[in-house]
Structure 1
Amino acid sequence: MRETGRLQDLEEAVALAEALRPALHRLYRQLRREVEDPGISPLHALLLVAILRQPGIGVAELARLEKLRGPTISGHIKAMEREGLVTRAPPDPKDRRRSSLIVTDKGRALIKDMKQRRTDWLAFELAKLSPEARAAIRAAVGPLGDIGQ
């Protein structure tokens, strides 16, 4: 009997995933489209956020974290340095090949502004919904946050 329950749970989860995935994808695309910053690429924004979360991360570690090749990341980091978004700390005395990456004040301000614009856009869209719809979304935030943890 329990086997039947598990199968029904799985079937229900598959149906929910099929309904949820396109909705989340559209929301994500719209959120990015509404607040794209012409001064920074989506990849550079992603890399800045990763460096902000792990100050002092090295280029090789960042490449592994973002599942990109080292030379690819290295080129992007050099461009971000030229733009004044990141800087390198002095080399580690134990490993002179490794230099830590740090987001500059300009990079921090850019990410803060981007996050604020995205929050503002999303708040405006949520305000258009009924109180019941907002309550349903509020109730879903916790479980959605648990996915992928």
Structure 2
Amino acid sequence: MAGDGLLQDMEDAMALAEELRPVLHRLYRQLRRESDDPNISPLQALLLVAIIRQPGIGVAELARLEKLRGPTISGHIKTMEQAGYVTRSAPDPTDGRRSGLVATPEGCAVIDNIKRRRTDWLAFELSKLSTSERRAIRGAIGPLGEIGK
């Protein structure tokens, strides 16, 4: 029956998800460990990346983007301003109450360092694999990138 193929596909996907989820979770945890920086929290790093990607983003828009409350974001932004990672742009000419957020060179350097440490760790671990294992991982990047789009 036509539905049997769909059922088999779903069962196969469930089994693959059960195998893949813990592996991805372990890799994610290790990558986060590799980028631990005592000067910036993981949430602040996430916010800083969003600000780098969208210079001039407002606090309210950043809160919506990250699905967090405005006061939560505001506290982190103040801390990042004090650390010299973020600055506020000139007020919006149409709404003087709104100023955007911009990453400073120091903020960009912090994120670059985090990315470099993660990439270095991952490259080292990948170098331990055989050529065929690395080829298999490379082949999976495209399909994995499609998940959740």
Q: Same fold (TM over 0.5)?
A: yes
Query: Within 1, Cα distance between the matches of 2:148 and 2:116?
Result: 24
Q: What is aligned with 1:3?
A: 3
Q: What is aligned with 1:92?
A: 92
Equivalences for 1:31-42 in 2 at 5 Å?
31-42=31-42
Runs of at least 4 residues off by over 2 Å: none
CA shift at 1:20, angstroms? Answer: 0.5
Aligned residues: 149
Q: What is aligned with 2:103?
A: 103
2:30 maps to 1:30:
yes
Q: What is aligned with 1:117?
A: 117
Q: What is aligned with 1:140?
A: 140
2:130 maps to 1:130:
yes
Q: What is aligned with 2:63?
A: 63
Segment of structure 1 superposing worse, 14-23 or 29-38: 29-38
Q: What is aligned with 2:79?
A: 79
Equivalent position amino acid for 1:59 in 2: V
User: Which protein is richer in strand relative to its size?
Assistant: 2
Equivalent position amino acid for 2:48 in 1: L
Query: Within 2, Cα distance between the matches of 1:12 and 1:97?
Result: 53
Equivalent position amino acid for 1:65 in 2: L
Query: Within 1, Cα distance between the matches of 2:121 and 2:22?
Result: 20
2:68 aligns to what SS in structure 1? coil
CA shift at 1:35, angstroms? Answer: 2.7
Which structure 1 residue ranges, 5 or more long, are not aligned? none
2:14 maps to 1:14:
yes
Percent identical: 72
Equivalent position amino acid for 1:52 in 2: I
CA shift at 1:34, angstroms? Answer: 2.1
2:44 maps to 1:44:
yes
CA shift at 1:97, angstroms? Answer: 1.8
Equivalent position amino acid for 2:124 in 1: F
Cα deviation per residue 1:86-144 (whole Å; 9 max; x = unaligned)? 00001102112211000000000111111011101100000001112111110101111
Equivalent position amino acid for 1:126 in 2: L
Root-mean-square deviation (CA), in Å?
Answer: 0.8
2:95 aligns to what SS in structure 1? coil
Query: Within 2, Cα distance between the matches of 1:81 and 1:35?
Result: 21
Which structure 2 residue ranges, 5 or more long, are not aligned? none
